[in-house]
Structure 1
Amino acid sequence: MSDLDRVLVLAGGMSPEHEVSLRSGRRVAEALRGLDLEVQVADADGELLRRLQDDPPQVVFPVLHGSSGEDGAIREILDLTGIPYVGAGPQACRVTFAKPIASGLVADQGVRVPRGVALPKSAFHDLGAPAVLQRVVDQLGLPLFVKPAAGGSAFGATAVGSADALSSALVGCFAYSDTAIIEQRIDGAEVAVAVLDVGDGPVALPPVEIVPDGGVYDYEARYTAGRTEFFSPARLSDPVVAAVQQAAVTAHTALGLRDVSRTDVIVDADGQVWFLEANVAPGMTETSTLPIAVSAAGRDFAEVCRELAHRALLRGSR
């Protein structure tokens, strides 16, 4: 891989996940520098296009989380520059970032998804919130889970155990998105499955089981060391491990993703796998599940980052 020399890591952004993105970016940059690559770190700001024009890198490695980083916008800009980059293209990002659309596409491939509805804020205003909420509870039952239709890091996401708690959960959700997903809450083991494709097709890494100390995998539990216990490989039977890995590869393929992705699932008490969402720019922090899975697979995180960047370089040369 001697032809790969200069990489620009994009980190930061304007979403609520700004700090997480910076941590991911530093981790990737330090890993690549440890392999004697020249690495710069930049934000997606008003200086980015000038930087790319005046001093173009060979490859851009985006680790921008949340809106603009994962909704396809920055990938559109990178396509306009002609500089190759790690990860999915704009259309796949748009589809994946829109969780109701992504869930529908994955369900079409035979993967289970929780029953739910996606409702804009205007629906509650125009039709009357009490009537809408009562109808949702009547149809979906309890418990429920509320989350923004776009976004990550558990911002605006709330588990709901009673009808009375649903209204306040929606208020919190609408602070991050104009559309809320209300879905059946599936009880079981929460599992993250990373998928890599460095040239031989998408391959799922060992699944990571997530056990937060407070029972809820919220922002603090995700990014505070010691708040969550991770098991990789996950404490699942071999057939269930194979099923969650297959679900992740199916999601990666159905959504048109490339290079790297992460799929979040729940495994219920019967061993059934339920798709929750997919992520086009998985976290790379010290407490993120992708680096944990890489280690569980017996691979070196820095080498994986270099392989992903090299694959983007080859794609650009073609």
Structure 2
Amino acid sequence: MRVALLMGGVSREREISLRSGERVKKALERLGYEYTVFDVKEDFLKKVDQLKSFDVVFNVLHGTFGEDGTFQAILDFLGIRYTGSDAFSSMICFDKLATYRFLKGTVEIPDFVEIKEFMKTSPLGYPCVVKPRREGSSIGVFVCESDEEFQHALKEDLPRYGSVIVQKYIPGREMTVSILETEKGFEVLPVLELRPKRRFYDYVAKYTKGETEFILPAPLNPSEERLVKETALKAFVEAGCRGFGRVDGIFSDGRFYFLEINTVPGLTETSDLPASAKAGGIEFEELVDIILKSAFLKEGVKV
């Protein structure tokens, strides 16, 4: 099997994608796959036809272009097989506002509103969360407890993104649920509780060793665990996601509040999905193999 490994990209998550890609590359080598690495940059579209000679594309592009449905739509048009969700699901999940509207009534979501112009005070009161519609790795996310902090967040985000989501802050336990697709169906991995040393699970907390305590499995009683896993899987399936992914949320007062779906989650040494997989008895090489083979399941092909 010939594998095209795509990493890098043009988004603000390029560094994380390169870290994920390097780790996947080593796993592919140990697994014995024939692979070629593509460091995706601005001129990549001129070379995209080269991917037709491969059996499958392993996509570890995070953020804009690689995770928002754009790249997936190009590959679909060219008839090229790839890991992860299709163009429509990727587009929906990368846009948090679209995700919330799409899943409203399916899962419990904290109150939210879109803002396109500067405001002096939060329409949802405090504390609240300000975040971009389309961004990953908690880039551009602010937790605000005053008008001053709220105004600062808008001044940072509105010029760059044009519009932002303001969401009610739910105090509780941050949890993430990783999901894999195998020929047996969807497998929900052990729930991971995140206890960041910082104010919340931001970019630094996600990608700096020692900044976040991973609790695996999350200390939940059987009914709580069932609620968290069922909610995550319901969101994942309803959004049409495939292959692999991660669902993030807040567990508070016996309820699990949905926050987002990551269709191309990080695969670095500090990332959530590999940690959850290991807790479920899946080492990194096997995880990479499962993700790679899941690309063929869309066609009903077993590898």
Q: State the TM-score bracket (shorter-chain normalisation).
A: over 0.9
Q: Residues of 2 paired with 1:91 and 1:48: CA distance?
A: 20
Q: Does 1:26 align with 2:10?
A: no
Residues 198-243 of structure 1: per-residue CA shift (max 9 Å, x gap): 1222221111111111232111111011111101111222211111
Match of residue 167 from structure 1: 151
SS in 1 for 2:57: strand
- Unpaired segments of 5 or more residues in structure 2? none
Q: Does 1:238 align with 2:222?
A: yes
Residues 166-196 of structure 1: per-residue CA shift (max 9 Å, x gap): 1101122235422111011001110111111
Match of residue 91 from structure 1: 88
TM (normalized to structure 1)? 0.89
Q: Residues of 2 paired with 1:277 and 1:317: CA distance?
A: 28
> RMSD value over aligned CA atoms?
1.8
User: Would you say how many aligned residue pairs link Structure 1 and Structure 2?
Assistant: 300
Structure 1 counterpart of 2:59, one-letter code: P
Match of residue 42 from structure 1: 38
Match of residue 178 from structure 1: 162
Contact 1:84 1:315 in 2 (8 A): no
1:214 to 195, 198, 206: 198
Q: Does 1:258 align with 2:254?
A: no
Match of residue 14 from structure 1: 10
Q: 1:55 to 1:107 in 2, by over 3 A?
A: closer
- Unpaired segments of 5 or more residues in structure 1? none
Q: State the shift of 1:304 in Å.
A: 2.3
Contact 1:156 1:176 in 2 (8 A): no
Q: Does 1:157 align with 2:157?
A: no
Q: State the shift of 1:92 in Å.
A: 0.8
Q: 1:30 to 1:187 in 2, by over 3 A?
A: same
Structure 2 counterpart of 1:82, one-letter code: G
Q: Residues of 1 paired with 2:102 and 2:187: CA distance?
A: 20
Contact 2:274 2:287 in 1 (8 A): no
| Larger mean Cα displacement after TM superposition, 248-257 or 303-312 | 303-312
Contact 1:262 1:280 in 2 (8 A): yes
Match of residue 313 from structure 1: 296
SS in 2 for 1:15: coil
Q: Sequence identity, in percent?
A: 37
Contact 2:51 2:80 in 1 (8 A): no
Residues 234-267 of structure 1: per-residue CA shift (max 9 Å, x gap): 1222211111111110111111110111110001
Structure 2 counterpart of 1:254, one-letter code: E
SS in 1 for 2:76: helix
Q: Residues of 2 paired with 1:118 and 1:54: CA distance?
A: 38
Q: Residues of 2 paired with 1:14 and 1:68: CA distance?
A: 7
Q: Residues of 1 paired with 2:130 and 2:300: CA distance?
A: 44
Q: Residues of 2 paired with 1:10 and 1:51: CA distance?
A: 11
1:298 to 248, 262, 281: 281
Q: Residues of 2 paired with 1:234 and 1:180: CA distance?
A: 31
Structure 2 counterpart of 1:308, one-letter code: I
Q: State the shift of 1:55 in Å.
A: 6.8
Match of residue 70 from structure 1: 67
2:256 to 273, 291, 294: 273
Structure 2 counterpart of 1:33, one-letter code: E
Q: Does 1:101 align with 2:107?
A: no
Q: Residues of 1 paired with 2:140 and 2:277: CA distance?
A: 29
Match of residue 125 from structure 2: 141
Q: Residues of 2 paired with 1:94 and 1:54: CA distance?
A: 22
Q: State the shift of 1:32 in Å.
A: 1.7
Q: Residues of 1 paired with 2:160 and 2:67: CA distance?
A: 15
Residues 23-69 of structure 1: per-residue CA shift (max 9 Å, x gap): 11111121121111112221333246536437721110111111111
